[in-house]
Structure 1
C-alpha cells in the first residue's frame, strides 16, 4: 500500500468521524408523551375522544411535534383520585415521559398538577375543570386546553340576566365541580343585575330530585340554573319536565347538562339553554374540516372532548416548535404559548398568563338532537385564576 492510498483512507476516515456526530444531532430522541386518561369506567368514552383528537392533530403534522417523533406511554387512571399519584409517578419515574396529558376527572387532574408542579414536568390538561389547576396550583409548566369550571357557569349567568330574568334558583350536585360552576353562575348573574334567591344541592351522585323540585316550585324564581352530567343530567331534565316546571320556569345550565344526553332526555330537553366553548353546529370552515377528518379517521362524530384533545396536541406543537423540541425549557414553552393564537375547531383562542384558554362561551339551545348555537354568552372569557402566582 503506497502513501497516497494511506492518505486517501485517512481523509475518508476523518470525514466519516466528523459527519457522524452531525447526523446523530439531526435525529433527536423521540418525544415521550404520557397519556393519563380513563380507559375503563364511566368516563372511558371521554378518554378515547381526547386521545383520538390528539392523535388526529399529530397525524396532520406527519407524526412529529416540535420536530420530534412521538412515543406514547399510557396509564388507565380509572377516574380514581386515590390512585392518581401512583399512576402519574409511573409515567414520570418508570417511563421517563417528557410530557403529561391528562385527565378527565377534576380530582385526578388536581393530583397530576401537584406532581407536575413538584417535578417540573410539562403538563397539558385536556378536560378536568377544577379551577385550582390554573388558579392556586398554577405553574410555568402546567397548561389547560379545555375550560375552568367557572367559565361556563359565569357565562350562562350573564346569558340568563340578558334574557331579562331577575331572580334565579340554583341546583347542583354537592361536590367540587357543582360548587365551582354554581359559584361562577352566581357571580355572572348577580354582576349582570340578577339575584340568586335559592341555592339547592344534593350529594353526588344522588338523583332523588323530587323534594328539591318542590322547593323550586314554591320559591317561584324567574329561572333555574343547574349542573348535572351523564345519567344524573338525564334524570334531572326529565324530572324537571315531569314536575311541570319547564312550562313556567325556564331551565338553564352549563353545557354538560345536555352534552351526550339528548337522546335519552328526549323532548324534555327541548329548549333548554346552556353555555359551553363548543357546539354541534358551528359550521365554520375550520370546524367542518375537523369534523370531516375526525369522522373519516374514527368512524364517529367528534365532541367537545375530541376538540380538547386535538387542541392539547396543537398547543404542545406550538410550544415545542418555539423551543426546538426541548420539553424541559418550560419557560420558553410558556412564553411562546401565551403569545400564540390557537386556531381551534371551537374558534380561535389564546392562553392566559395562568395558562387557561381565553375563549368564547357559546349560548346553545336544544333543538331536536342538537345543541345549536344561538349566540355568544360571553366573548373571549378569561378565568380569574384566583390564587395564581406565576
Structure 2
C-alpha cells in the first residue's frame, strides 16, 4: 500500500517544514521517498525510522532555504520481492530526490539493483548487509546505520582484554548472523583467541536448549552471539534458565539487548554487548533528541529512530549547503559525502564507501539498562571489502 503525503494537503505540523516568508516554487520541492516496513513483523522499526527522519527535517526547516519537503511513503512489508517494483516507482513515477530505506537487508539488495548509479540518493537507515557498501557500493548510496561488521568486530578485542581465550559462537544462518560471527572471529583470532565451536542455526529457529547444553558441556571462557528481537529474548532467558548466567559470560552484538530488555528481565543482567548507540549516552545531542522525540510522539526513541533521524540530518545539512537546491545530483552526492553529522550517537562522518565512521560502545546490562562502560572502538571504519569507489 502506498501512502503519499505532500505539503499541498498536509497538516499544520507538516507545513512547518517550510518557514520561508515567500511560498517556494515547484522547483524548490524536494521529494523524499520512504521505503520502510509499515506492516508485518518489522512495522515498529519502520515507523521509528520514519518518525526520526521527519523530526530531523522538521527541526531543520529554517535551514532548508525555502525548500519544501514532499514525502512519498511506500510499505515494503519487509518483502524483498517488492523492492524492485517500489524502487522503480520512486524513480520513474515520483522522481524522488532521496530514497530512504530499508530495514531488511534482503530488501536493500532489491533496492540497490534498481537505484545503484541512478539520479537519486539512497540512504540506508538500518539494513547492515555488507554488500550494500562493499561490492555493490555506489556514489549515490549512503548508510546512516551500521555495517554488519561494525558492531561485532570490536567485541573480539574486548573478549581478549577480559582474558577470554576460548569462545563459543552461535547465531542464525543468514546474512547478518554469518557476517556478525565472522567479524567477531576476525578480531578475536587475530589477537590469539580460539573459536572452540561456531554454530549457525536455521533461521528463525529458537530451539536453543540443545546448543546451550552443548555450551555447558564445552565450558568455554565466554559465549558470543548474534540474535535480535524475539530470538534474542528467548536465548537470553533460556541461557539464564539453564544456569549459565554468572558462570559463562555472555557477549553479543548490541541487538541482543536492544529493545529486548524489558522482556528479558533479570535474565539479561550482566550481558555485555557492543553497539553504536545506547539510550543513556551522556552527550547533549542525545539528550535533546530524546526529549524532542518524546514531545513529538509521546514515547522515547530507540536506535531505529536515531538512524532515521540521522538520515534526516544528512538531507537537511546537504540542502542547507546547496541553498535548498536538489537539482544537481552530483552536488548532492559530493556535499553529503563530506558531512559531519552531530548525531545522538556522537559525531560521525562518512567513509569512502559512505558507511558511518563511528564510535562503537561497550555496554553492560545493569538494573535493566544498557549502561555504557567505555568506547570499545573509536571512529571505527568498515573495511568496505570489494568497494571500487
> TM-score with structure 1 length normalisation?
0.90
Q: Which SS does the other structure have where 2:163 is aligned?
A: coil
Give the conservation status (yes or no) of the 8 Å contact 2:223–2:250: yes
Structure 1 unaligned segments of length 5 or more: list them. Answer: 1-22
Give the conservation status (yes or no) of the 8 Å contact 1:338–1:355: yes
In structure 2, the partner of 1:70 is 69
Q: Which SS does the other structure have where 2:82 is aligned?
A: helix
Does residue 288 of structure 2 align to residue 284 of structure 1? no
In structure 2, the partner of 1:313 is 312
Superposition deviation, residue 192 in structure 1:
2.9
In structure 2, the partner of 1:230 is 229
Superposition deviation, residue 376 in structure 1:
0.9
Give the conservation status (yes or no) of the 8 Å contact 1:149–1:180: yes
In structure 1, the partner of 2:7 is none
Q: Which SS does the other structure have where 2:181 is aligned?
A: helix
In structure 2, the partner of 1:40 is 39
Give the conservation status (yes or no) of the 8 Å contact 2:167–2:197: yes
Structure-2 change in CA distance of 1:282 and 1:187 (3 Å)? same
The CA distance in 2 between the partners of 1:293 and 1:386, in whole Å, is 38
Superposition deviation, residue 160 in structure 1:
1.5
The aligned runs of 1:100-139 (5 Å cut-off) are 100-139=99-138
Structure-2 change in CA distance of 1:330 and 1:386 (3 Å)? farther
Superposition deviation, residue 90 in structure 1:
1.9
1:108-154, Cα deviation, whole Å (9 max, x unpaired): 11211221115332110000010111111111100000000000010
Give the conservation status (yes or no) of the 8 Å contact 1:66–1:317: no
In structure 2, the partner of 1:52 is 51
In structure 1, the partner of 2:181 is 182
In structure 2, the partner of 1:159 is 158
> TM-score with structure 2 length normalisation?
0.91
The CA distance in 1 between the partners of 2:379 and 2:315, in whole Å, is 21
Give the conservation status (yes or no) of the 8 Å contact 1:131–1:148: yes
Q: Which SS does the other structure have where 2:270 is aligned?
A: coil
The aligned runs of 1:247-286 (5 Å cut-off) are 247-286=246-285
Give the conservation status (yes or no) of the 8 Å contact 1:99–1:327: no
Does residue 223 of structure 2 align to residue 192 of structure 1? no
Superposition deviation, residue 375 in structure 1:
0.7
Q: Which SS does the other structure have where 2:259 is aligned?
A: coil
Structure-2 change in CA distance of 1:64 and 1:37 (3 Å)? farther
Superposition deviation, residue 188 in structure 1:
1.8
In structure 2, the partner of 1:242 is 241
Superposition deviation, residue 388 in structure 1:
0.4
Larger radius of gyration: 1
1:252-291, Cα deviation, whole Å (9 max, x unpaired): 0011111111111111100100011110211212111111
Structure-2 change in CA distance of 1:177 and 1:65 (3 Å)? farther
Structure-2 change in CA distance of 1:328 and 1:215 (3 Å)? farther
The CA distance in 1 between the partners of 2:341 and 2:192, in whole Å, is 33
In structure 1, the partner of 2:385 is 386
In structure 2, the partner of 1:344 is 343
CA RMSD of aligned residues (A): 1.8
The CA distance in 2 between the partners of 1:148 and 1:67, in whole Å, is 34
In structure 2, the partner of 1:17 is none
Structure-2 change in CA distance of 1:24 and 1:233 (3 Å)? closer
The CA distance in 1 between the partners of 2:192 and 2:47, in whole Å, is 41
The CA distance in 2 between the partners of 1:230 and 1:24, in whole Å, is 45
Give the conservation status (yes or no) of the 8 Å contact 1:65–1:316: no
Structure 2 unaligned segments of length 5 or more: list them. Answer: 1-21
In structure 2, the partner of 1:213 is 212
Give the conservation status (yes or no) of the 8 Å contact 2:117–2:138: no
Q: Which SS does the other structure have where 1:119 is aligned?
A: coil
1:227-274, Cα deviation, whole Å (9 max, x unpaired): 111111111001111122223210000111111111111111001000
